[in-house]
Amino acid sequence: MTAAVAIAACVIAMAPADTLIHRPSGPDAGPPPGEPTEIRFPVISDERAGNYPCSVAIGFLDADTIPDLAVANYGSNSVSVLLGNGDGTFQARREFPAAFLPYTVAIGDLNRDGRADLAVASEGSGQVTELLGDGKGGFGERRDLDVGGGAYSVAIGDLDKDGNADLVASNLNQNRVTVLLGRGDGTFRPGGSYATAHGPRSATIADLDLDGSPDLAVACFNSNAVSVLLGNGDGTFRRRRDHAAGQSPYSVQCGWIDGDPWPDLAVSCLASNSVSIFLGTGNGAFRRRREVMTAAQPYGLAVVDLNGDGRADLATADLATSTITVAAGKGDGGFLRGIQLATGRYPQCIAVGDLNQDGAPDLVTANTASNTVRIFLNRGKGARP
């Protein structure tokens, strides 16, 4: 690991949101809207990845309870695995092969053996590579699954509610998402493909209408829209509904951004240098969007409560300015003006997890031109000393 770079503490606020399916209610629902409490990122460090890393995911890749990293390397057709030490530092990376031009990596248990596996979407080959974990931080021989042209992103979830992990890949060149339904042994059967608006870049899985069935939200770059496909609970989806977003939507996440119990969406928009906020109405529909400004060209996006005040905050990876923007949430759908922190060169992805096990979520960016991931340790309120 390179030496940590100390920076001035910044007062800001943010946890990944696509895993948030059930919002707490009653006394656990969080405080009412108001001024957010502070959070600090006083220490930054870099770790080496492969060539042109585009995506980073956080999970438990070996047998311990310390978070690890998986990084999709677009330029070296590989995935880097960095096992955590529990203090925010990592062991030297190990490389595992992927298909041609891997862009997005996701972590999940694909064969129900209790060990973390990897799914990697490769734009160049139109495939999702499956790497089954050995529980020690290693992975077996890769298996490539055909999903169609321009496989730009992949998400893991139980789409048909059978207890097995399923996959959904966005097909950038075909204006569709492709579903693969898991058998629970690491193999998959075709689950169909579904039309989206033009240029689907990323998809997230969440229960948007609170009927207990997973739904899809897809950021569609070329049409300035988000496509929402409500699930039937059997791995199939209804016809899409498109919602106008900012210019060039790239990443979409789900979370609870205002004070009600209904899921909301946040979408990073490259050309408008903003995040579009869609406040949910509880039936899979959304109110008219509002915009939160960021630095230039926000690619990756996270929606998370960074400061433990019960309110969702935003973080974006801003490619053109080589920064992250962090905007503290007010709890009513609004945000304070964002603060920028330097990343490596040209970050395209941001991930959230408690990397040093102090109880506060930390941030990681994948920096394409630096061939690094940058670690931002959260030392604000809520962190244990």
pLDDT digits (tens, 9 = 90+) for 134-167: 999 999 999 999 999 899 999 999 999 999 999 9
As a dihedral over the C-alpha atoms of residue 351, residue 354, residue 360, residue 361, rounded to 10 degrees, the angle is 10
Q: What is the pLDDT of residue 38?
A: 66
pLDDT for residue 99 is more than 90: yes
The span from the CA of 11 to the CA of 177, in Å, is 39
- pLDDT average, residue stretch 110-122: 98
Neighbouring CB atoms inside 10 A of 97's CB total 15
Q: Find the largest Cα–Cα distance for the chain.
A: 51
- pLDDT average, residue stretch 321-328: 96
> pLDDT grade, residue 3 (50/70/90)?
very low
pLDDT for residue 345 is more than 70: yes
Stated length of the chain: 385
pLDDT digits (tens, 9 = 90+) for 228-278: 999 999 999 999 999 999 999 999 999 999 989 999 999 999 999 999 999
Burial of 117 (0-12, 13-18, 19+ CB in 10 A): buried
The span from the CA of 245 to the CA of 350, in Å, is 21
pLDDT for residue 94 is more than 60: yes
What phi, psi does 38 have (nearest 5°)? -80, 160
pLDDT for residue 51 is more than 90: yes
DSSP designation for 337: P
> pLDDT grade, residue 114 (50/70/90)?
very high
pLDDT for residue 379 is more than 90: no
Give the Å distances, CA to CA, from 353 to 69, 151, 207, 361, 364: 10, 26, 22, 5, 8
pLDDT for residue 313 is more than 80: yes
Phi-psi group of 292: left, alpha or beta (phi > 0 → left; psi -120 to 50 → alpha; rest → beta): beta
pLDDT for residue 50 is more than 50: yes
Q: What is the pLDDT of residue 171?
A: 97
Collapsing DSSP states into helix, strand and coil, what is residue 378? coil
What pTM did the predictor assign?
0.91
